[in-house]
Amino acid sequence: MTATAISPLAGKHVVLGICGGIAAYKSVSLLRLLVKAGAEVQVVITPAGKEFITPVTLSALSQKPVVSEFFTANTGEWHSHVDLGLWADCMVIAPATASTIGKMAHGVADNMLVTTYLSAKSQVFVAPAMDLDMMAHPSTTANLALLRSYGNIIIEPDTGYLASGLTGRGRMEEPENIVKVLESWFAGRNDLAGRRVLITAGPTYEKIDPVRFIGNYSSGKMGYALAAECAARGAQVTLVSGPVALEAPAGVDIVKVESARQMLQACSEAFPAADIAIMCAAVADYAPAETADRKIKREHSEVPVIHLVKNPDIAATLGAAKKPGQILAGFALETDHEADNAAEKLSRKNLDLIVLNSLRDAGAGFGTDTNKVSIIDRAGRTDYPLKPKSEVAADIIDNIVSRL
Ligand code: PMT
C-alpha cells in the first residue's frame, strides 16, 4: 500500500488473538500496522500470552482494553465472546501456538481466545509460530489440516532462525506480510458474490459387495480447499463430495455421495443454476457390473471374476449441457504424457480450462497438503510452483474469476 492509498482494512473490525509464544513480540508491530491501516482492533490474549507481552502496551496501541479473562476480577464485568465473535469482520491469531491450534481444532474452549474463535462468524486467519520439531509433529499437521477444513486460512510460517537457537520451519510470518494477506483477502473477498459454484471432491466408491469397493486415494483436500476459497470470496457453493474424512468448509452446502452415478445425479441437479463448475473429484472410471448383496466368500473353488462396466463421465456430461456464460473446469491427474492427455480431456469434455497435476511431481496429487499444477486452456498453459492446496485453490479461482 502506498501512503496515500486507502487500505482495504480501513474501518474493518479485527480481533487480534495473541498466544503465549516468544513471537508475541511481533504482535505489537502487527497491531501497530493494523491500526495504521485504519482497522479497529480488539486484542484478545491468552493468560500465557500476558507472560510474553504486557496488555498495557497492547491497549495503548489499540486504544481499547485488552480482553483476556471471562470476567474482570474487581468489577465482575463479563466479557462476551459471542458479541466479540459477531463484531469481528475477521479474526487473526498471531502467534498461534501448538497448544491453541490444538484447542481450536478440537473445540477446547477453556479461555477467552478459543471461545471467541468458536463464536467467530467471520474469516479466521491463523499464523502459527513454534519450534521446528513442534511444527513438524504429526499432531500439529493434523490440527492445522482440521483448521483448514473449517475454512480457516493458515498463514504459513517461515523457515529460519528460531528463538530456541535452532534453524527450521516455525517462524511466524512477518507482520507486514500478515497485513498483506488480510488486505488482499478484504480486497478480493467479494469477487464471487452472487455467483453459484458447483465443486466435486474426493473419490467415488463403487461397491463390489457390502464390505468391498473399487476406489482411489483422493482425500478431498484439493476440492475442499477450492470450496473454502469460493465461499470466502462470496460465492454460494455446492460441494458434491465422495467419501472423505473432512469437515465441510464454513458456509458451503455439502451433498455427500458415494458412487459416480450418485455424483452425476447430484451434479446434474446443481449444474443448471451454476455459473462455475469445477470437477476436482477422482471419479472411478469403472464400476462392478453387479453388486453382490452378501459378502463374497473366500471358500470359492475359483478366484471370483469381477465384471466391470463404464461409469458415466460427469465432466463430459456437464460439458455437453453447458450453456453460454457457464464456466466448466476439470482436473487431469496424469502419470505420463501429461500435457497431451490434459489437452485431449479439455477438448473431449468441452471444458473451458483444465488443471493438470502429475503424480510424477513430489508433493502433488493425492493426499498431500500441497499441489503443483498447470492451468491449460485453448490459449496456452500457465505453470505454478508447489504450494499449499489453499494457495493453489486461490490461484485456480483467480484464473476463473478473470474469465467471468
Ligand atoms: O483429493 P486430494 O487427495 O486432494 O487429491 C486431489 C486430486 C489429485 C484428486 C485432484 O487434484 C485431481 O486431480 N482430481 C481429478 C482426478 C481425476 O480423476 O482425473 P482424471 O484425469 O481421471 O479425470 C479428468 C476429469 O474428468 C476430472 O475433472 C474428473 O473429475 C472428471 N471425471 C473423470 C471420470 C469420470 N467418470 N467422470 C468425471 O467427471
Chain-centroid distance, C-alpha 147: 8
Q: How far apart are CA 50 and CA 137, in angstroms?
A: 26
Q: How far apart are CA 45 and CA 35, in angstroms?
A: 17
For the packed helices 98-106 and 112-119, what is the interaxial angle rounded to 10 degrees? 40
Nearest residue CA, atom 13 of ligand 1?
333
Calculate how far, in angstroms, residue 296's C-alpha sits from the geometric centre of ligand 1.
Answer: 29
User: Is the CB of 319 within 6 Å of ligand 1?
Assistant: no
219 lines ligand 1 (CB under 6 A): yes
What pTM was estimated for this model as a whole? 0.63
Which grid coordinates belong to 76? 465482575
Residuewise pLDDT in 10s, the chain (404 residues): 444 578 889 999 999 999 999 999 999 999 999 999 999 999 999 999 999 999 999 999 999 999 998 766 666 666 677 788 889 999 999 999 999 999 999 999 999 999 999 999 899 999 999 999 999 999 999 999 899 888 888 887 887 888 878 888 899 999 998 998 888 788 876 788 778 999 999 999 999 999 999 999 999 999 999 998 998 887 889 999 999 999 887 778 899 999 999 999 999 999 999 999 999 999 999 999 999 999 988 776 788 889 999 999 999 999 999 999 999 999 999 999 999 999 999 999 999 999 999 999 999 999 999 999 999 999 899 999 999 999 999 999 999 999 98
How many residues are listed for the chain in this entry?
404
Q: Is the CB of 314 under 6 A from ligand 1?
A: yes
H-assigned helices in 69-163: 81-87, 98-106, 112-119, 132-136, 138-149
Task: Say if ligand 1 is within 6 A of residue 52 CB.
Answer: no
Residue with cell 493438470: 356
* Amino acid in the structure at residue 276: I
Q: Cα of 108 to ligand 1 centre, how many Å?
A: 36
Ligand 1 nearest atom to the CA of residue 389, by list position: 4
The distance of Cα 79 from the centroid of its chain, to the nearest Å, equals 31
C-beta of 40 in contact with ligand 1 (< 6 A): no
Distance from the alpha carbon of residue 143 to the mean position of ligand 1, in angstroms: 26
Residue of 331, 347, 353 with the most ligand 1 atoms within 8 Å of its CB, for mutation: 331
User: For 289-312, b where at least 16 C-beta lie within 10 A, e where not — what string?
Assistant: eeebeeeeeeeeeeeeeeeeeebb
CA of 203 to the centre of ligand 1 (A): 8
Would you please indicate which residues are annotated as catalytic (active-site) residues? Answer: 216
Query: Of 2, 10, 1, 33, which is closest to residue 175 (Cα–Cα)?
Result: 33
C-alpha distances (whole Å) from 4 to each of 7, 34, 37, 323 are 9, 16, 11, 44
Cβ 285 under 6 angstroms from ligand 1? yes
Which atom of ligand 1 is closest in space to residue 311's alpha carbon? 36
Residue 280 Cβ < 6 Å to ligand 1? yes
What is the C-alpha to C-alpha distance for residues 113 and 377, in angstroms, rounded to an integer? 45
Q: Are 287 and 264 in contact (CB under 8 A)?
A: no
- Rounded Cα distance between 318 and 138, Å, is 39
Q: CB neighbours of 4 closer than 8 A, spacing ≥ 6? A: none
Q: How far apart are CA 372 and CA 388, in angstroms?
A: 9
